[in-house]
Amino acid sequence: MNKPLAVKYFFEHYLFFDAVSAGQIAASVLAAIISIVALNKDFRSKTLALQKEARMIRLVILFVTGLSILNAFISSYSSHEDKWELKNQLNKLRGDNKLLQENLTKSQLALQKSLDDKAAGITASQVNSSKRLLESADVLRDIVGGTDEIPAFQFAISSVTKMGAILNNNSTSPVYNLNVTIVNTDKLSGCKLIKAKFGNAYNKSCFDTVARDFGVIPIIMSKGAFSMELPARQYSDEVGHYVVFLMYKNRRYRLENIVKIIDHNIRQASRVIEFDNNYKDLKARIVKQPRGYDLPTVNWKNEFPIKLNRPVFGIEF
């Protein structure tokens, strides 16, 4: 601690009187001095009674002066204590006020964060609601308009001595107004070929025995199926080749399907070909079969040498 600060600390903590108290003490001392000086003439008196009285008065003056000085010190000390108590209370109030300001700032930040979080939650909820609304609209559109996917063809045992087929709608939306015709191409080779105005064709009476026209199927529900018989199939047939013609949403498809009985189990291969209104092939894809149900590699040109694109009694090839 440097010297000026030490002096200030001494006066504030150990010297318990202020300027007023110092003035009171000085006045008391001065009054005592004047009174004692005034009594000197009585001390010079040769009368013993006057001298004795002067000594008594001097003692009284000194006693009263001492009491005045002591009272000044006591008053100054009491004032000093009250001052320090007030200063401590003021410092405490300042500390409480600072703490209150900090708590208020924290509360404001917490409130702002809570409002921001709620706003973010509301925004996220609105986004999720909009997303669900769009998804619901898509589902509703699919339900009303139907799926864009065509059903998958699958061979199935319909009885102990009979094999059939089903069209599986694997979509979550229905299939509406599906036109279906199926042709047994193995037996088609036994039909007589004739000439028609639009090109080469098969005799209708023979064609009707190897083909089945199901017309328009109004609806296949989501995850539903449509069952159909395989035309001209014999129980003893170990191999079968079938072409399924589909017309769906003004688009034409040819499904080439092969079935073989191997170790009393059905094995299948399928290919989907989309073609246009001029019977020109657009694109083709192989349908993946379940494990243990599929056939080995298939040479599709050898399996279906005749190109069929028109499911009527006159079929171009």
Q: pLDDT tens, 210-246?
A: 999 999 999 999 999 999 999 988 878 889 999 999 9
| Residue 296 and residue 188 share a domain | yes
- The residue out of 119, 141, 170 marking a domain boundary is 119
Q: Taking a C-beta distance cutoff of 8 angstroms, is the pair 258, 269 a contact?
A: yes
pLDDT at 256 over 90: yes
Does 134 fall in a domain?
Answer: no
Lowest mean pLDDT among 8-12, 181-185, 189-193, 227-231: 8-12
Q: Taking a C-beta distance cutoff of 8 angstroms, is the pair 305, 317 a contact?
A: no
Scanning the structure block, which residue is given the tokens 């005749």? 306
Phi first, then psi: give them for residue 2, nearest 5 degrees: -80, 170
Residues 6+ apart with CB under 8 A from 289: 268, 269, 270, 295
Lowest mean pLDDT among 110-124, 169-183, 296-310: 110-124
Confidence of residue 14 (pLDDT cuts 50, 70, 90): very low
Phi first, then psi: give them for residue 14, nearest 5 degrees: -120, -20
Does 72 fall in a domain?
Answer: yes
pLDDT of residue 297: 81
Does 126 fall in a domain?
Answer: no
Strongest mean pLDDT among 70-79, 220-229, 301-310: 220-229
| Residue 282 and residue 162 share a domain | yes
| Residue 290 and residue 157 share a domain | yes
Domain that holds residue 277: 152-303
| Residue 169 and residue 261 share a domain | yes
Q: Taking a C-beta distance cutoff of 8 angstroms, is the pair 302, 313 a contact?
A: no
pLDDT at 191 over 60: yes
Q: Taking a C-beta distance cutoff of 8 angstroms, is the pair 269, 257 a contact?
A: yes
Q: How many CA atoms lie within 13 A of 311 on its CB side?
A: 22
Q: What is the mean pLDDT of residues 152-173?
A: 87
Say how far apart CA 216 and CA 302 lie, in whole Å.
Answer: 31
Residue with the bigger pLDDT between 78 and 225: it is: 225
Phi first, then psi: give them for residue 153, nearest 5 degrees: -90, 140
- The residue out of 94, 119, 144 marking a domain boundary is 119
| Residue 220 and residue 286 share a domain | yes
Say how far apart CA 22 and CA 227 lie, in whole Å.
Answer: 122
Confidence of residue 196 (pLDDT cuts 50, 70, 90): low
Say how far apart CA 51 and CA 94 lie, in whole Å.
Answer: 64
pLDDT at 317 over 70: no
| Residue 107 and residue 165 share a domain | no
How many domains does the chain divide into? Answer: 2
Residue with the bigger pLDDT between 191 and 66: it is: 191
| Residue 162 and residue 87 share a domain | no
Strongest mean pLDDT among 13-22, 107-116, 224-233: 224-233
pLDDT of residue 28: 67
| Residue 111 and residue 29 share a domain | yes
What residues are paired with 259 via a beta bridge? Answer: 240, 268
State what percent of residues in the chain have pLDDT above 90. 25
| Residue 160 and residue 112 share a domain | no
